[in-house]
Structure 1
Amino acid sequence: MSGTSEGPTPAADLDRSAVTDSDHTTYDRVFGAAPLAMAVVDHEGFVVRANPAFGELLGLDCRALAGRAAADLVDLTADVRSWHAYREVLSGRQARLRCTRRLKHPGGNSVWVQLTVAPLTDGRAGVLLSVADISARRELQARLRHLQMHDPVTRLPNRTLFFERLSAALEAESYERGGTGRIGLCYLDLDGFKAVNDTLGHRVGDRLLAAVAERLTTVADEAGYARAASPLVARLGGDEFALLVEDSTGTEQLADLAESALKSLEEPFDLAGQRLSLTASIGVVERHAAGTTATGLMQAADTTLYWAKADGKARWTLFDPERNAHRMTRQALSSTLRPAIERGEFVLDYQPLVGMEDGRLSGVEALVRWHHPQFGTLTPNRFIGLAEEDGSIVQLGRWALVTACRQARRWQLDHPGERPIFVSVNVAVRQVWDSDLVADVARTLAETGLAPHLLQLELTESAVMGSAGRPLQALQALSDMGVRIAIDDFGTGYSNLAYLSRLPVSTLKLDGSFVRGFQYEETPKGVPPNPADEVIVEAMIQLAHRLGLTVTAECVETAAQASRLRRIGCDTGQGWLYSRPVPPGRISELLDARTYAVGKP
């Protein structure tokens, strides 16, 4: 459309606007022939003109649309937000409106359209309403979403759709509409399914999963008979399925559903000439939706499923709060962690690190203990995980670093004639992310006077081997400072040996599981029955040495283990053979003894 105007022209006089006859003719032709449905609407919201495509879309004669309220024709009054924006465009206070609507054709079918309302730009009064049919696009999007939200093997909703439905069911609106306000979940795992895949192949395994899905769907349909809705059946992955019951009526309903699911799987499956029998284990949880999270519900279901399998499989088990009482203990510990640090309830014990060749005390590992007023003395496995979860590990780790460095310096000053020992402090990866570990270490060394090479920081293998970005930069800065970096529990994670050579690491601490493999005693002929563990450890030690690293063996408990480790070149030993973790005063006594006597903790 083109043309000029000396001023706004009333919508009713649109055909007499100040344009040339040629322009007007061109406008009429374009407007009438356009495949896009369009209508000119005046500032009051009434249709002035509509083209044939617009009438065809609505199933009406376009000439009969003049004078009709455009908002009613295209359902712009359906929601307050769109209606307000539409009025703003009509009044000239908003430049454009674009929204999506579903319009019903008089013939019975409906179409999805995209509406655009924008002011006319050729001097004419009013706005142009254009309507694009996007039904095909919406259908394609729906198909793609269905593929994304459903498992291709069983055609059931997948994990993504399941959690979408679960989250929606747990929202406040879902139990404020007159429902029961409760939710139930049966978390099902097939017993021995891996054996089917391993022996008969994944094709048979997939057929079995599809057959299981059909039976569970039938169970859900029967359970939903005479109810508002059937339980949602979903495949969460592998051989795990879930039956979600919204607005459940209590544990009895969930128990009946679980029992029906087990019975439905009792009948053998006939698959391409194979007759297969299987069982399932089910964890059942039923509770109020209010105050429940998707994560909490799934954790409870997963725990209960584990109980079902531990109790013998082929059964369902109901969540038992008392059996889950250890979680309450965890919560009690978690809530008092930070105050406990401030109250000084934590102490450090030290476990000797002994040279395998000379038996001398070369260093100690600082191990934190919590003297809890209610639960007694707690070892790190009881609270370190909690500290990492709530972030208090940063405060606790900073305290441990300062305390250990101050103690190491005190030993050095108290024994000036002896070779100083280093202290090894454990560091959680969250300390690297949530604090400036490099600055903390530098400040601690400066304040305590401890030399950098007398401090060793231990990180787990999984944390170090995947280091990149900030963690790797921090490790490099600490190494450049002269601080030793050790990988703890080496051999239990996803060792990337090529990557290991590029890390600023000085020590590998072999996980105790390798050393425990040395438990066998030599036969009278002097030939060990199975030296596989020793061969693996020897290979790791040789590799470490070629990379310029020293090796510490953890969990050394017998003289025979120590002898074998010394023979294959291990540098340092740590374990109950030498000493349990002890208070600082005991380490002072060992330093006075100069040579550490094996077997005398």
Structure 2
Amino acid sequence: MTAVPEAGGNATARPEPGDDATAAPAAGDDATAGDTTTVAAAGDTSTAVPATGGAGFSRAGAQSYAAAWARAARRLGFVPFSAAETERLLLGHTEHLAGALLAEAFTARPAESVGRALVEAHLAEPGLLDWSIAALGDRFVAQVLPERAGRPGTAQRVAGLQGGLAAGFARALRDRTFTQQERIARSAWQARDLVEQALRDSEARFRAVFVGAAIGIGIAGVDGQIIEVNQAFADMLGYSVGELRRTNVASLFHPDDAAGMWELYQALIEGKHDSARVEKRYYRKDGSIVWTDLAVSLIRHDDGRPRFTVAMIEDITERYELQQRLRFQALHDPLTGLPNRTLFFETLGQVLADAGPDHRIGVCFLDLDGFKAVNDSLGHDLGDRLLVVIARRLAECVAGHGHLVARMGGDEFVILVDGGEDIDDAVGVAEMALAAVSAPVHVGDQQLAVSASIGIVECPAGETSPSELMKAADTTLYWAKAEGRGRWAVYDPERSARDIARSALVAGLPAALDRGEFVVHYQPIVSLLDSSMVAVEALVRWQHPELGLVGPDQFIGLAEETGLIVRLGEWVLGQACRDAEAWRREFPEAKLIVSVNLAARQANDPAIVETVAGALGRTGLPAALLQLELTESAVMGTAGEPLRALHQLADLGVRLAIDDFGTGYSNLAYLRRMPIHCLKLAGPFVEGIRPGGVDLSTDAAASAASADHRDERIVDALVRLAHALELWVTAEAVETEAQAERLRSLRCDTGQGRWFGPPVPAAQITARLRDDAEGAP
């Protein structure tokens, strides 16, 4: 046993490795049993380190060693503690190791506890273990127990501590790994259970939807063989579920759709498309036809190969039949059942589009002579019955020849002579029509002698357009009437030019424009929602020096025929933009839109886009506050460059509207192609909307009420159509409060007419805006 002097000159006997004797501190020594620092790691309290200065333990050295150990930990890996916390933790481990080294009976278990504690504190980097073991051998004794350095048995004890530290670290790391593996395995099993449960739930939901769905659902293989259908599918087609499972989808196709449907199905199973949706016919088991809305989706294998198809099918037979009835009503005259002007112009446009270079076409435009007198003297009901008889006769006399007969409106009918060889064919058709009309007509107890006048136009199909053909036919019809009733006349372009040239009013138009005799009046367009004025329509008037204020109906048509409408329209456009910009500057909150009529010839003018852009640029009016109104003939007959011009105008930000919609030859398909923003419903439809309570005691009153109801239904249909196409709707010719209220209930957007105010000079619009601004809250 060797005595080691302690601080203060006192000495404490420490046993050497293997010594059995233990030296007790002498009486009066500074180090006592109560003056020790006890270090416990992982519950091991078997060792105690004397307080600073006792047994050769250096508190400063231990702190320095712990600080170096903490720095190494932070350098070698992630440390979940602050620097101070790490150093404090490792100081405890340092003291614990010192206590083990100084213990009378040496054991490496405290070092194992320290190794395990390091792992439990997440100081589990392999590099830290290497450093800890190396430092334990290289510097621990010198720094922490300097008096123990070089003494016999110290090296063996240090080696034991190194082994214990490594063993504890390794066992703790292994235990943690096993725990994590067990946790991962448990999570994997739980995830698998959840997936299996989700799959079972999904299958249950699919089965519930499949069985209980109101629409038909069917699954078929890539060969078209039906695999499974639900009861709704079977009921729709009149089969049992078992019968359909033995059926190929191709056998259900309607013959007219079979080729297209099989192509669609082949495209799906070849993977060209993932889904498709069509409206198609199917045969029921009893041979009847069901119209369906069919949606088919392709289901693939995991590797992308087509596996089978899923079809969802809804019976839309009633809806389809309703659409067909509505289409028939939209394209046929409700009184006579003949095709109306819409269908006529649709057919005429198609014939002209499909015509070859040698194809000829003719039109016989027929108008009954003196029909107004029949209505005035005998009543509209008898007049309608007369029209029905005449329509039937015309249809019968030309039906065998394959010609189309249509009612254009009122007492006007038109016959399309398609594919004739020359003018004689059209003349022959006109003579047959006159003969059919001239036979006495018995209506009720009345026998009427009826005659008609016919204008004939015949020409190569490639040299005309629908609007030109009908314009010529209309002109020729009036020639026939002027020459005496009950006859026909053939269109003569030269005569037409001479008539226009001789018009005195036409001759005065250019000079009037140069002299500034034209003025612009504005008619309010009012919101039916809150009665606010949202726009005005610019209407040109001719302040004639002799005739006074001349309305546009007396000179606009002539200006269009002579081409002066382009200059006149440009002037009106410029004046309207100037007035609108003045209103915008004075009343910016009003955001008043000015609507300017654009004639067909203007729309066809190559410079129309530059004209409009120039007017906006010169006046400073924002494009969004300008609306251009085009007639149906200008819009529906537009193609090529004019069509591009309309799109260019829309690109400027200008709004485009169709004026008098419903009275022209509207081809609804064109509405999808045109950049239209607004439809202005024609006045006649609005005039037919009357207040309730009409006396229906007479047949004539009942017929008029029925016609009024039809007009209201037409307005309702047109408003719905426009809103479906995301178009604004303005009703023209609103004359009464009842009409305004009914239009509001039909969800029409704006109204225009005498009820909201007549066309007035710009100053009166300014005054109205000022009154509105002063009355605003």
Per the normalisation by structure 2, the TM-score is 0.39
Greater relative contact order: 1 or 2 (C-alpha under 8 angstroms, separation 6 or more)?
Answer: 1
Answer with 1 or 2: which has the greater Rg: 2
1 or 2, which has the higher helix percentage? 2
